[in-house]
Structure formats: structure tokens, C-alpha cells
């Protein structure tokens, strides 16, 4: 009756069950929806006017008469792809021909298309651990088994191509093929970015073993400071020549402009001549089967991206402020260690491993009315970590932190 690709019914975990049965209010330190954390213009808490007038500008950009006529282009209408190209040039100093950009309704949809493009059912997708949990579902829906390669915990969860190579060898030894290797750069939730030398080693491996690289860069605009060796846009690492392997960089409005509800993401494809054109032609064919990005948001894209920086700055100010509160709440040398936050909207706390993470998180919710995520949601290699979002309104965040301090460092 149903496809085996969905291993349903998925059971609710203990935290979800506790939340479902809850009536008492709690402080939510997991919220990552930028439209519901008091950053919109007109909301009490808007930051220094940085977002002032933004709602009106977004709505005006969407009210474009041309949207009354439907003239679809599977890769996305040219003015919208040119806007993405201009954004890469202005914000990241990277030249991206519009012909190498494909629009999708979100980066999640882009993942689905790229997995369709590169994998046959049974081929393996490699993803980092710890990292973004939705990747499991996205691979499962394409009938592609997912395997993890470790980010080096001893090196602050940095990417090392050797870990990918070891996993590729294991997959191949079991008679399977690796279709794609996913990078999350900067990573969610650890904020770590990839060093150029490691990307070079990964491309060499990709060329030799015939897999594609998918680099999820949705948090690329949210970095504290770049180490000189950090890669920003993987598909553009070589400005003078194309990379040796097929590489797809993903981005979108949900993070870069704080507008997840408008549903627009993009793929920037690069690779060796011949292979790249072939990939783009097939990707266009996949996109043509869906034509999922609304004309209205595509027409609005030049204006939305032109104003994105103001929103990104407001989000960034919020993240930095909350991060300072976090550092002050858990100074070095205490029982709880805040992992260095290098990028993104999350922070990871290493907490005493005196009981399973799940117990810690349930106790925080039930006895202290504060919600955080356990590290195992993100496949940390060992316990105990909790992950907090840095987006909540500062008042909520600081009160939530106070509760975390009382619960996690009771003798301090």
C-alpha cells in the first residue's frame, strides 16, 4: 500500500511527547524561525530600527503586475537568477554566471533535486556528524541510504577530508557507490567552516571516486570572523578555473533574508566543462517537472535581496547579543563549556555527562520550564551536549539562561 521509503509511523521521541502533553508555559530556546522572534518592523523589540519599514518593502516587492502572467522558466526567470548572481558578487565577491544558477522553493527542495540528479536508489549519501538533522529525511525520501562522516571533535568539529575518504572506502568495500557528499558550511549547529586545503582534498577524492559535492551554505552570511583559510562559497573556490568535481552550493531567502515563508532557495552549480553542462541540463529537466518557485517571489527577488542585508544585520545583532549573554552566564572553567561560536544561529553547550542528554533536557523542561535541544538530535559523537538557538528575544534568552545556569551548575 505505501512506499517503503518512509519508515513510518515515526514514533514521537520523549521530548516531543512531553511537549505535546504540556499545559504550563515555558521559555523556548530552540526557536529558529526569524519571523517569530520579534525582529519584524513594528514589533516592540525590533533592533535599532534596522528592520524598520521592512514589512512594507517586502509586501511592495511582491505586488508586481508582471506576476499576473505565467511565463515559467524551469531554472528560474533570468531576472531572478541575475539577482542571485549580483548578490554573490556584492556580498561574497564571487562571480557566478546566472546560467549556473537554478532556483528551487527551498534548500530542502534543492537537496531533493540534487539527490535525484546524482543517486540511484541504494546509492549512499555521506553527511557530516554532528550536523543538521533534516538530511536523514531528505535522503530517505530519495531511497538513498545515509552514512555519516565524523567532524573532528578534538579540532572543534572541523571538517577533514580524510574522514570522508575513510567512509567512502567503507561504503565501496560493502559494494555500494557514494553518490554525493554533503558539506554544511558553516555547519549547523557547530558553526565550523571548511578550510580551503580540505576542500581541495575533497574535490580530488570526488573526481577520483565519481561523487558530487553538495555544500549547504545557507548560513554563509552569518560568520563571526573568517579564518583566512576558510571557504565561503565552495562552488567558487577557484575563481580562475572550475573545480575538478561537480559541486553545488546551496543558499536561500530563508536565512540570507530572514524570509523562510517566501520559499525561494538557489543552487549554484560548478564543475569541469562538459560535466557541468550535462548536470545543468538534467537539473533543468528535474526542475521542469515541478516548476515550484512562484513567479511572484521570483519577480520580487532583486528587491528582496537588495534589502536582505538590513535584515541579516538585525538578526546578526541579535545573535551577537545573545552570544555575549551566553558567554557571561557560563564563564570558562565552570561545569558547562560553551563551544566557540564561529557562525550561524546556534550555540552548543557541553554539559556534565552525569545522565543521558535526554534526561537533562526533559528535566530542564519539566522542572525548570525551559526548552533546549539535546546534542543527539544533531548526532554529536558522544554525550553530553545541549544546543540553544541564539535568536530568541534577549529578555526570553536571558531568563532562559538563568534557568539553565541554576539547573546545570547548581553549586557554582
Give me the residues that bind ligand PLP (CB under 6 A), please. 32, 106-108, 132, 184, 188, 216, 218, 252, 254, 260, 265
Residue among 370, 375, 346 at smallest CA distance from 358: 375
Q: Which is nearer to ligand PLP, 133 or 272 (CB)?
A: 133
Q: How far is the CB of 253 from ligand PLP (least distance, A)?
A: 7
Q: How far is the CB of 286 from ligand PLP (least distance, A)?
A: 17
Residue among 150, 187, 185 at smallest CA distance from 166: 150
Q: How far is the CB of 188 from ligand PLP (least distance, A)?
A: 4
Q: How many CB atoms lie within 10 A of CB 230?
A: 18
Q: How far is the CB of 142 from ligand PLP (least distance, A)?
A: 15
Rounded CA separation 98/76 (Å)? 10
Q: How far is the CB of 250 from ligand PLP (least distance, A)?
A: 7
Number of residues assigned to the chain: 412
Q: Are 341 and 191 in contact (CB under 8 A)?
A: yes
Q: Which is nearer to ligand PLP, 107 or 193 (CB)?
A: 107
- Give buried/exposed letters for 255-268 (b at 16+ CB in 10 A, else e): bbbbbbebbbbbbb
Provide the β-strand partners of residue 248: 214, 269
Q: Which is nearer to ligand PLP, 258 or 400 (CB)?
A: 258
Rounded CA separation 360/373 (Å)? 10
Q: Which is nearer to ligand PLP, 51 or 106 (CB)?
A: 106
Q: Which is nearer to ligand PLP, 47 or 132 (CB)?
A: 132
Rounded CA separation 252/91 (Å)? 14
Q: Which is nearer to ligand PLP, 184 or 351 (CB)?
A: 184
Helix%, strand%, coil% for the chain, nearest 5: 45, 15, 40
Q: How far is the CB of 344 from ligand PLP (least distance, A)?
A: 8
Amino acid at each position: 500500500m505505501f512506499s517503503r521509503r518512509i519508515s513510518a509511523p515515526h514514533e514521537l521521541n520523549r521530548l516531543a511527547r512531553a511537549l505535546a502533553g504540556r499545559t504550563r508555559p515555558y521559555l523556548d530556546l530552540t526557536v529558529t524561525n526569524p519571523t517569530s522572534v520579534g525582529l519584524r518592523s513594528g514589533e516592540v523589540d525590533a533592533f535599532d530600527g534596522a528592520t524598520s519599514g521592512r514589512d512594507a518593502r517586502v509586501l511592495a516587492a511582491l505586488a508586481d503586475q508582471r506576476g499576473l502572467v505565467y511565463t515559467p522558466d524551469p531554472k528560474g526567470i533570468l531576472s531572478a537568477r541575475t539577482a542571485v548572481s549580483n548578490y554573490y558578487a556584492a556580498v561574497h565577491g564571487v562571480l557566478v554566471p546566472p546560467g549556473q544558477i537554478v532556483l528551487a522553493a527551498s534548500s530542502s527542495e534543492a537537496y531533493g533535486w540534487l539527490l535525484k540528479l546524482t543517486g540511484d536508489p541504494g546509492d549512499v549519501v555521506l553527511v557530516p556528524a554532528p550536523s543538521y538533522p533534516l538530511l536523514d529525511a531528505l535522503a530517505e525520501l530519495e531511497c538513498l541510504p545515509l552514512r555519516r562522516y565524523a567532524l573532528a571533535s578534538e579540532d572543534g568539529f572541523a571538517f577533514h577530508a580524510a574522514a570522508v575518504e575513510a567512509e567512502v572506502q567503507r561504503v565501496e568495500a560493502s559494494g555500494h557507490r557514494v553518490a554525493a557528499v554533503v558539506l554544511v558550511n558553516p555547519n549547523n549547529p557547530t558553526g565550523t567552516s571548511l578550510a580551503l586545503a580540505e576542500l581541495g582534498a575533497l574535490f580530488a577524492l570526488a573526481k577520483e571516486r565519481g561523487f558530487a559535492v553538495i555544500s549547504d551554505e545557507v548560513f554563509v552570511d552569518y560568520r563571526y570572523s573568517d579564518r583566512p583559510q576558510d571557504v565561503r562559497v565552495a562552488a567558487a573556490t577557484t575563481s580562475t578555473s572550475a573545480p575538478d568535481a561537480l559541486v553545488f552550493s546551496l543558499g536561500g531567502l530563508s536565512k540570507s533574508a530572514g524570509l523562510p515563508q517566501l520559499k525561494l532557495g538557489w543552487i549554484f552549480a560548478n564543475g569541469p566543462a562538459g560535466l557541468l553542462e550535462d548536470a545543468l541540463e538534467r537539473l533543468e529537466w528535474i526542475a521542469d517537472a515541478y516548476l515550484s518557485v512562484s513567479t511572484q517571489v521570483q519577480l520580487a527577488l532583486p528587491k528582496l535581496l537588495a534589502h536582505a542585508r538590513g535584515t541579516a544585520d538585525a538578526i546578526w545583532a541579535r545573535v551577537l547579543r545573545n552570544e555575549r549573554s551566553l558567554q557571561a552566564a557560563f564563564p570558562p572553567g565552570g561545569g558547562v563549556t560553551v563551544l566557540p561560536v564561529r557562525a550561524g544561529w546556534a550555540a552548543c553547550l557541553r554539559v556534565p555527562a552525569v545522565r543521558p542528554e535526554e534526561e537533562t533536557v526533559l528535566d530542564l523542561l519539566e522542572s525548570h520550564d525551559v526548552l533546549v535541544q539535546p546534542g543527539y538530535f544533531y548526532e554529536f559523537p558522544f554525550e553530553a551536549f545541549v544546543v540553544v538557538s541564539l535568536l530568541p528575544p534577549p529578555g526570553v534568552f536571558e531568563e532562559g539562561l538563568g534557568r539553565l545556569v541554576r539547573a546545570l551548575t547548581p553549586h557554582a
